[in-house]
Structure 1
């Protein structure tokens, strides 16, 4: 059976089982499959600036932050949604609290995306709209209080966004509770 047929059979088995997951396959070049040495990799010089390192929040840490935000909101009787995004603005975790409005889910993600994009709380960014009103036209952003960046050494590594409380100040208070739950990782 060829590698392609093996992959297709494995993929079909996953789909047939109704499992949601990731299937990975490695198709070796014919020479490598026969046991020949692989071709040399392209040489890069990490010290020469060819590679960058970045710090990303783990899913476990993102979940911890989201739960802390939901708990803080719950203690005040608020029904909110929480989103945590990574350094690139990709959603890691989104939790919609019991009774949170349908719009809060998307708003929380956009607030988190906005906070990490500018490495600033969204309440601060709202003030910048008076100087540059077209900022609000950038896709995926929402310039309302409720987003707080997670920083390490002053650089953004993630952000927490909260939406659904009756005021942006409350949303942001709960977002900051999520950041605070990360402890020393969030300076």
Structure 2
């Protein structure tokens, strides 16, 4: 009887490719970003900081990756999911590391309902951060 179950995950190589692709995308647009990739458990797998990117955005990028990896949906979608539930708004806002604005995307294998991690970008606008994160996903073969 087999008792071990293997789960797909984010490889070190994929994490590195994703952060480099996000930075290259930002460079082409003149943006300065920090970018992080986390595995499904929220553990940091890769991180890059562009020279001149906001220092405070380091932790924000990491926390965006953590949030997307933790819940499996875009950080931008948090407020619409919570909706008018004041209890959830207050409860979740008190949680450390939870980011509820754009720039964090889950890493989902094509055709899979399950996600294997998250990528987070911070330093530009929400929309620009998400574009950079998406460029990272596309570089590892994930078309969001």
Q: How many residue pairs align between the two structures?
A: 138
Aligned residue runs from structure 1 range 1-187, under 5 A: 45-46=1-2, 50-130=3-83, 131=85, 132-133=88-89, 134-152=91-109, 153-165=112-124, 167-184=125-142
- 8 Å CA contact 1:66–1:84 kept in 2: the answer is yes
Secondary structure of 2:14 counterpart: helix
**C-alpha spacing 1:128/1:137, structure 2 compared with 1 (3 Å):** farther
- Post-superposition Cα deviations, 1:11-36, rounded to whole Å, max 9, x if no partner, equal xxxxxxxxxxxxxxxxxxxxxxxxxx
Offset of residue 129 of structure 1: 4.0
Secondary structure of 2:131 counterpart: helix
Secondary structure of 1:157 counterpart: strand
RMSD (Å) for aligned C-alpha atoms: 1.6
> C-alpha separation between the residues in 2 aligned to 1:90 and 1:136?
21
Asked which structure has the greater CA Rg, the reply is 1
Offset of residue 154 of structure 1: 2.1
Offset of residue 139 of structure 1: 2.5
Ranked by relative contact order (alpha carbons within 8 Å, sequence separation 6 or more), the top structure is 2
Offset of residue 75 of structure 1: 1.0
> C-alpha separation between the residues in 2 aligned to 1:112 and 1:145?
11
TM-score by length of 2: 0.88
Which consecutive unaligned segments of at least 5 residues does structure 1 have?
1-44
Secondary structure of 1:55 counterpart: coil
TM-score by length of 1: 0.69
